Amino acid sequence: MSRNQELFDRSRQLIPGGVNSPVRAFGGVGGVPRFFQRGAGARVQDADGKSYIDYVCSWGPLLHGHAHPKVLEAVRTAMEKGLSFGAPTGLELEMAELLCELVPSIEQVRLNSSGTEATMSAIRVARGFTGRSRILKFDGCYHGHSDSLLVKAGSGLLTFGQPSSGGVPAELAALTTVVDYNDATAVRAAFAEFGHELAAVIVEPIAGNMNFVLPEAGFLQLLRDLCTEHGTVLIFDEVMTGFRVALGGAQSLYGIRPELTTLGKVIGGGLPIAAFGGRRDIMSCLAPVGSVYQAGTLSGNPVAVSAGLATLRLAQEEGFHMALGEVTHAVTEGIAERGRAAGFPMVAASVGGMFGIFFRNGLPRNLPEVMECDRDTFNRFFHGMLDEGIYLAPSAYEAGFVSAAHGSAEIGETLDAAERVFAHLRTAS
């Protein structure tokens, strides 16, 4: 029995499903999840000692790859001074100053410990600021596991939200309106019916939780215009895209200024930290100066902040994101080209160090179109690449990530592996 199998069997006895986050269970692709024991640069090693080129990168935080020396040095220095204080530190101020500098829409920022906490808190602040209760979100966009956001669309052009998880009261879900991503008609209809009730619109400016879906031209501007017209707070969830697609996040690419922004992943460099911030008058609603309560024992943890600061400073090097984007494009387009050459309908998209590959003709524009992808072929491709030592996201519905540690050697190995896998899939079909 492999060590991975042994660990998984033991884990299932003590941890629900054997994992501490559902997608890790390989439920979408089948098989045994890999238990990793070390990582360096672009590569990870599992419990059986097998090495993989990593295109998950801890689901985005590892912008510079695993165990970058400068990030590790920053962590060691912080640890030697103490792991946590539950009191203010100068490092928190450094992080706040840097986030406000890099993301101009952020005038004030509050640090916390997870993306879920950041989006939950941003919505609470928006509700407190506007005095309204309803929010608008998009089907397929995941903003964490707080009750108001674990909501799916029903049938029809415009729907009241319905719980997509057990334990979510229908009464809370009813305060969330859900429409399809990139559906301008549905957005206009939502504002026509509920504009006076909408506290916030929350959106991933580039969707990364239904694989990787780009906003159509004018979609984000439409949200900006309607929110301005109706006094609704526009929240950009940049937990994934922040500092990964561009130094100023997706909002800098599209020239849209939201009222509030949520951040995570990259700002911790692999350690748990997140943040939300935006307009000063809205953020002033937060306790202790305002009436909206939000708190966290480990918010602004000095070790996590140190890792994040080191990660962000490395990303400020001239040409960093251009080079990262070139590598990502080379890998993803190379995979798609080899898939098409083998007779499979396949497309890819990428921005900066984030990407999606799809077994379909044409890039999807929303969740229903993502669901049209050939999941069976993806699953076989995933396992073929895994056998070849290439670790992709274990789901057809998750974005992938490339780090600055991925270079020409990793590109070559990945594309050679893809060619072999596609040849095998073509022969087997």
**CATH code of 102's domain:** 3.40.640.10
Which tens digits make up the pLDDT trace of 127-175? 999 999 999 999 999 898 887 777 775 433 334 456 677 777 777 778 8
CA dist., res. 392 & res. 378, Å (int): 11
Q: Model pTM? A: 0.95
CA nearest to 48, candidates 101, 85, 4? 4
User: Within this chain, do residues 344 and 289 fall inside the same structural domain, yes or no?
Assistant: no
- The answer on 111 and 14 residing in a single domain is no
In this structure, is the dihedral angle defined by the CA atoms of residues 49, 53, 58 and 64, taken in order, positive or negative? positive
Using DSSP, state whether 41 is helix, strand or coil. strand
- Clarify whether residues 305 and 420 are in a common domain: no
Supply the DSSP symbol for 19: S
Mark whether 81 and 180 lie in a shared domain. yes
Boundary-marking domain end, from 315, 340, 364:
315
Q: Which residues contact 151 (CB under 8 A, 6 or more apart)?
A: 137, 161, 162, 163, 164, 168, 173, 176, 178
The ranges of the chain with pLDDT < 50 are 154-160
Are 307 and 200 members of one domain?
Answer: yes
What was the pLDDT predicted at 156? Answer: 38
Residues 169 and 277 in one domain: yes
- Backbone angles phi and psi of 259, in degrees to 5: -70, -40
How many CB atoms are closer than 10 A to CB 239?
30
If you write DSSP's letter for every residue of 312-376 in order, what string do you get?
HHHHTSTTHHHHHHHHHHHHHHHHHHHHHHTT---EEEEETTEEEEESSSS---SHHHHTTS-HH
Same domain, 266 and 413: no
- Whichever domain contains 409, its CATH number is 3.90.1150.10
Q: What is the pLDDT of residues 279-307, one digit of tens each?
A: 999 999 999 999 999 999 999 999 999 99
Tokens of 37: 């024991």
SS3 276: strand
Range of the domain at 419: 3-67+318-428
Token pair listed for 309: 């600061």
Based on the fold, state whether residues 95 and 167 are members of the same structural domain.
yes
Positions marked active-site: 142, 237, 265
Give the pairing type, strands 390-391 and 51-54: parallel
pLDDT score of 161: 55
Question: CB–CB of 198/232 below 8 Å?
Answer: yes
Report whether 37 contacts 46 (CB < 8 A): yes
Q: Is the same domain home to 107 and 189?
A: yes
In whole angstroms, give the CA distance from residue 226 to residue 218. Answer: 12
- Classified as helix, coil or strand, 244 is coil
CB 130 within 8 A of CB 118: no
pLDDT at 153: 56
Cβ partners under 8 Å of residue 22, min gap 6: none
User: Domains in the chain: how many in total?
Assistant: 2
Of 266, 295, 315, which marks where a domain is finished?
Answer: 315
- How many CB atoms neighbour CB 161 within 10 A? 26
Q: How many residues does the chain have?
A: 429
Residue 303: φ, ψ to 5° = -70, -45
Same domain, 330 and 181: no
Domain final residue, candidates 275, 298, 315: 315
Same domain, 245 and 121: yes
Residues 196 and 287 placed together within one structural domain of the fold: yes
Q: Residue 252: what residue type? A: S
Say what the pLDDT of residue 166 is: 78
